[in-house]
Amino acid sequence: MNRKTSFFPTPLPDEHIVSTFTRFLRLSGKCNLSSGRNIITRDYRSLDSTTPWRVAYTDIYSVFKDTLSVEEFANRYTLWPFFRPFLNTEVQSNVIGMKWAPDAKKRFTLTSTVQNHSELCKSWRWCKECASSDYDHYGITYWHREHQLPSVLHCRHHRRTLNRQCPHCDQSIWDIYDLPLPSPDGVCRFCRQPMSDASSNSPLSEAVSDIEIMSVSALLNNNNSNLERTINKMRNLLSDLVHQRMSDLKISNKNARIQVNKEFRYFISNDSQIDRIFSRQGDKDYVSKHRTKDSLLHIAESTSGQSAISYIAALRFLMKEQDIPINDRIWDG
Ligand SMILES: [Zn+2]
Ligand SMILES: [Zn+2]
């Protein structure tokens, strides 16, 4: 236990560590992050939902360091297991090893390309029914990790669209400066109106449902001994599938490359829910599906630096094409 803290709440099932930190500050009588800075961490600006690893996490880890390794901590309480299989081993060990960048000014962190700040995933999201049942069970609501996955739009337990933005006042929870937790009664914390609307239960397309299964599976199946195998298996699978598809086309290599990229772009843009996962934050930097980075071959051929969402979408597209079953154990080495 860190000397400055005499207590720290135990994370609740699948709770994101930033959520536990929020509860800690509330229990310590703080009303915002700024009044609570220096207690555990000074890295409190824009603590958003999808950052795989940052200085604040390293600081909060100090509370757990007698009982967990950094990797166990990251696997249990952050979105690290979702991002990790898509990073090369050097990047992984720099980030999780909490190494310093060569200029020694800051620790290694991940670029936004890897995190894929899509329009959907920068705000904290929650399921109204989970919040209500958490409130009944634990007397408090909290931010679930699996609801923060950038490629997950629905709660898999209640099959409903996650709450993100209030339909009345358009507000969403971008950072946790004021220590917000999900509302237990479904009421917007800004305008006090009920947040659920008719779109709460919009049906899932099959492709989005598969991508959500694959994403949650990446988050939950984090057996470290299989790490290398899982990564290689995933990369080899992607590469094999691309080449299989290209040879199936029975046309010249150049034309086959153009064709598979075209098919993948169609797969993304033809499904409005997948298209939403891929659209980037803000109108100005919205990147169309046609940029090279989102091309299937670019995703399959780069060794690192592609977003987890891109890899997962590419795999879904090709696994379906090859009739490979998608289940919740695909990442298990
Ligand atoms: Zn739920
Ligand atoms: Zn509102």
Distance 14 CA to ligand 1 centre (A): 12
Phi, psi of 144 (to 5 degrees): -85, 140
Side-chain half-sphere CA neighbours of 49 within 13 A: 28
Q: What's the confidence (pLDDT) of residue 201?
A: 63
Q: How many angstroms does the Cα of residue 147 sit away from the middle of ligand 1?
A: 9
Between CA 84 and CA 315 the distance in angstroms is 16
Domain ranges for the chain: 17-111, 206-332
How far apart are alpha carbons 70 and 74 in whole angstroms?
A: 6
Residues with CB under 5 A from ligand 2 (ion): 166, 168-169, 188, 190-191
Ligand 1 geometric centre to CA of 143 (Å): 11
Find the farthest-apart pair of alpha carbons in the chain and give their distance in angstroms, rounded: 68
Instruction: Provide the token pair at 228.
Output: 């290398």
Cβ atoms within 10 Å of 128's Cβ, excluding its own: 24
Looking at residue 328, what is its pLDDT? 64
Q: How far is ligand 2, taken at its centre, from the CA of residue 164, in Å?
A: 11
DSSP secondary structure string for all residues of 273-285: HHHHHHSBSSSTT
Q: 212 alpha carbon to ligand 2 midpoint, in Å? A: 27
Q: Which ligand number lies closest to the CA of residue 146? A: 1
- Contact present, 107 and 76 (Cβ < 8 Å): no
Query: Ligand 2 center to residue 169 CA distance, Å?
Result: 4
Block means of pLDDT (10 residues each) for the chain, 333 residues, are: 72 96 93 81 80 85 92 92 81 77 69 64 89 96 95 91 89 88 90 74 82 88 62 75 88 87 88 78 44 72 76 85 73 57
CA–CA dist 319, 23 (Å, integer): 41
Q: Which tens digits make up the pLDDT trace of 223-259?
A: 655 556 666 677 777 788 888 888 888 988 888 888 8
From CA 241, how far away is CA 333, in angstroms rounded?
A: 18
> Given this model, what pLDDT does residue 271 score?
86
Q: Which residues does 72 contact at the CB level (< 8 Å), separation at least 6?
A: none
Contact status, residue 310 vs residue 87, Cβ threshold 8 Å: no
Q: How far is the CA of 194 from the centre of ligand 2 (A)?
A: 8
Ligand minimally distant from the alpha carbon of residue 169 = 2
Q: Considering the entire predicted model, what is its pTM?
A: 0.87
Q: Are 318 and 241 in contact (CB under 8 A)?
A: yes
